[in-house]
Structure 1
């Protein structure tokens, strides 16, 4: 079997439930990116109206009560677990109790983004158009430093003021080079739904630096799964709504698919260096996440992933199409995901393509580096589901 031949179970492609769920997830992401689901107005976005029509028709065919309006469909997404919806899905496609929207904010949960980007026509919801443009421009000008600076900016500063947008391209000796003008495309005015209207303040997360969303209970919510898993959200820098020309937020696809994994990749790279490896982040203009050179001469291509759904992650698993050569390729997940879902790797294996990267935890990768450097006892185990403490 060659590397492009799918080994997905047949029911996935044949399931009407898959198409319906992808459509609803896409609609929820579109609504959230446009105006926030709390401020709906007619006419509805095309994706939202289509999702409502499709779900209503499916319910009628199954003799079930359909959502009668888009606000009611949003209520389903925020309160009704997916496994309680009327359509059926392939085994292990979702975990029981999973929701598409956060209950307190009606913002898309990480799972919602994952289902939206799984849709066939998901390019507009992915990072590829923007990062592809950045890589092409830097490659044409032989300017890898600009690509590294650009990627680091998206990870470390998902929130910028208007003054930042104007001054950053010329700062640091123009390190952003040909990419400075892209900032105005990828940083958009912060949605009003993130604003504390009484104080006229936007609050950034003290961990990942993206904006925190006020909840209906008066709290703050972070869209990053890793921040939610902590004991509580930690507020960080505050931005006055009218300071420095206004507040701008990195667009959703780049927050979700570049900034979020980038934080994990930078931390993992630091840990690997301390464990005895030579590490290069985003080699060959982002061909893959981390190139790891071990003390025994082995070279690894590594992508850090923190997906809620192992089935969706498995469907997307593929080796790098370009970049520096390597001996083995791995997709790395936080060890906490294995503790949370003991069958995570088994589900990933069921849905991944032949020839795609193996899946290991961050702890296992660090242990492998330490073993190669002669500083640790543990080796690589790509099959064990034994829980281990996470790196971060």
Structure 2
């Protein structure tokens, strides 16, 4: 990739609309956190008030009509596509037609969280990093990778826990999660009242991803995961009484978005790759990257599954994972549907990524390439019983 095709980082930082969009996204996330507790009163959160002030100032400078209140700004975020806001943004910085808030629930969209994480002063508040670092450090100190794997699988499979489960889980079974009991209580919070069916006094989980569905203003239910919404009709899963097991706790949104969702996909991808003859290790090195995929010729691939709404922000986040355990190549995998729905996704990612960042391929490309590389070797060795020839010439493909 030639350097002139890249988008210089300085230009991104200097673009007037970048700081505004980060501020608005952060303000909307913070406002949603307060609103979910049922405590939306004056004064509003500082982040939300700053976002309103910045938007009004920008509109006045551009001689555009500004939102007259924070409630008006919320309406903008829920109904006005970001690419139509009065803000000067770099090329392809936001997907056309995308919103910061869902229309039917006023909950932050995935894109909104992506922009909040892009803001350096608030990234740690809206990402998974600090929680996963604590879990990795404790498990590493105990030399207990099984505990780390149990923790990751819990976040993937059980985004909802009852209070009783939350208090007894660390000591249950063989006590793998015992060292993480206080962390679990930090990341599984009492479920916001906005998720509650007030008449039935129940919460409803999504049958596909198991996180809670959010009631909409039209009386329906909404899943925060784009993958579930793309499948069409919402599928109602388990129902929880509000008082069941001492109350219902929900995994915090950053971990649902940045750990649970990709983790579901990583487990599924690991199964597909294993079925095609690869040796796959999930979350190696206490989560240094998503999967270590070892091929019969000795090649080791570091793979992370990423499903972002903005290829520009994904490109800006792209960097090689830590070298432990060692690997020969690193790659980020995105759903084929992302590239199908937005043909320019890969090109935008390439424009914003650094030269040392991972390659970007789709899940189908990864499985197809592994099948291509593993198949002939595995078939030959099943028939001959011979050891792998490490001197084989590399086969044609992505790796």
Q: TM-score, normalised on structure 1?
A: 0.93
Counterpart residue number, 2:375: 374
After superposition, the C-alpha distances for 1:328-361 in whole angstroms (9 at most, x for unaligned) are 0000000111100111110000000111000000
List aligned pairs for 1:204-283, cutoff 5 A.
204-283=205-284
- State the Cα RMSD in Å: 1.8
Quote the offset at 1:39 in angstroms.
6.4
Distance in 1 (CA, whole Å) between partners of 2:342 and 2:38 is: 32
Partner of 2:171: 170
Residues 276, 375 of structure 2: 8 Å contact kept:
no
2-structure distance, mates of 1:11, 1:141: 45
* 1:32 corresponding residue in structure 2: 32
After TM superposition, the structure 1 stretch with the greater mean CA deviation from structure 2, 35-44 or 262-271, is 35-44
Shift of 1:13: 1.3
SS in 1 for 2:361: strand
Tell me the secondary structure at the aligned position of residue 172 of structure 1. coil
SS of the aligned residue for 2:90 comes to coil
Cα contact 2:37–2:193 (8 A) shared by 1: no
2:78 maps to 78
Q: Which residue of 2 aligns with 1:362?
A: 363
| Correspondence for 2:385 | none
Does residue 124 (structure 1) correspond to residue 125 (structure 2)? The answer is: yes
Give the deviation of 1:294 after TM superposition: 1.1
Give the aligned length: 377
Provide the C-alpha distance between the structure 2 equivalents of 1:29 and 1:247, rounded to a whole number of angstroms. 22
Q: Is the 8 A contact 1:288 1:323 kept in 2?
A: no
**Native 8 Å contact 2:339 2:345 kept in 1:** yes
Q: 1:180 to 1:322 in 2, by over 3 A?
A: farther
1:291 has 2:292 as partner: yes
The answer to whether the 8 Å contact 1:126/1:257 transfers is: yes
- Note if contact 2:95-2:309 (Cα within 8 Å) is conserved in structure 1: no
Matches of 2:220 and 2:301, distance apart in 1: 42
For the 8 Å contact 1:77–1:101, the answer to whether it is kept is yes
Alpha carbons of structure 1 residues 37 and 80: separation in structure 2 relative to 1, 3 Å: farther
Cα offset, 1:381, TM superposition: 4.5
* Residues 58-100 of structure 1 deviation map (CA, whole Å, 9 limit, x = unaligned): 1111111111111110000000111111111000101221111
> What's the TM-score, normalizing by structure 2?
0.91
Q: Secondary structure at the match of 1:67?
A: coil
Cα separation, partners in 2 of 1:20 and 1:27, compared to 1, 3 Å: same
SS at match of 1:174: coil
Show structure 2 runs of 5+ residues with no match: 378-394
Residues 380 and 71 (structure 1 numbering): CA distance in 2 closer, same or farther, change over 3 Å? Answer: farther
- The answer to whether the 8 Å contact 2:81/2:98 transfers is yes
Does the 8 A contact of 1:203 with 1:237 survive in 2? yes
Number of the residue aligned with 2:17: 17
Residue pair 1:7, 1:354 contacting (<8 A) in 2 also: no
Shift of 1:219: 0.9
Q: Does the aligned pair in 2 maintain the 1:282–1:290 contact within 8 Å? A: yes
The 3-state SS of whatever aligns with 1:218 is coil
> Is 1:335–2:298 an aligned residue pair?
no
Q: Which stretch shows the higher mean deviation, 66-75 or 33-42?
A: 33-42
C-alpha distance in 1, partners of 2:226/2:274? 26
Specify the alignment match of 1:326 in structure 2: 327
- Cα shift readout 1:217-276 (whole Å, capped 9, x = no counterpart): 111100011101102111111000011111100011111111111011010001000011
Tell me what 1:158 maps to. 159
* Equivalent-residue separation in structure 1 for 2:38 and 2:246 (angstroms): 26
- SS of 2:28 mapped into structure 1: helix
Match of 2:195 in 1: 194
**Alignment partners' CA distance in 2, 1:169 and 1:112:** 33
CA distance in 1, matches of 2:397, 2:203: 44
Q: Secondary structure at the match of 2:204?
A: strand
Could you list the runs of 5+ residues in structure 1 that have no partner in the other structure? 383-392
Q: Secondary structure at the match of 2:20?
A: helix
Kept after mapping to 2: 8 A contact 1:8/1:352: no
Note closer, same or farther for the CA distance 1:57–1:297 as it changes in structure 2 (3 Å cut). same
Q: Which shifted more, 304-313 or 91-100? A: 91-100
- Which has more radius of gyration? 2
Aligned-partner Cα distance in 1 for 2:396–2:337: 19
Give the equivalent residue in structure 2 for 1:101: 101
**CA–CA distance in 2 between the matches of 1:43 and 1:163?**
36
Check the 8 A contact 2:213/2:224 in 1, yes or no: yes
